[in-house]
Amino acid sequence: MSSEIVFLIEEDIENGYIARAIGEAIFTEADSLDELRSNIREAVQCHFVEDDKKPKIIRLHFVREEVLAS
C-alpha cells in the first residue's frame, strides 16, 4: 500500500464541497472545508481498518472549473 492517498476536491454545484479518493472507493462531502477535512480523515480511518495499510499522508488536490467566454 502506498504511504499516500490523494483526494480530488470540488465545489458542489448546490452547496459545500465533495471529495473523491483516487484509486480507492472513498467519497465524502461537507458544507465547509474544515468539516470536509475532518470527514476525509474519518473516512480514511474507516476505509483502512488495519493500521499497516493506512496511508501516512492524505493529499488534497483542489479542482476548480472555470468557463471563459471568448
Q: Is the pTM of this model over 0.85?
A: yes
* Nine cell digits for residue 56: 501516512
* Whether the Cβ atoms of residue 25 and residue 41 lie closer than 8 Å to each other: no
CATH (residue range 4-62): 3.30.160
pLDDT digits (tens, 9 = 90+) for 24-68: 999 999 999 999 999 999 999 999 988 788 999 999 999 988 889
Q: Name the 3-class secondary structure at 36.
A: helix
Residue 32 CA to residue 11 CA, distance in Å, equals 10
Are 55 and 5 contacting, i.e. CB atoms less than 8 angstroms apart? yes
Domain boundaries, the chain: 4-62
Give the per-residue pLDDT at 66.
84
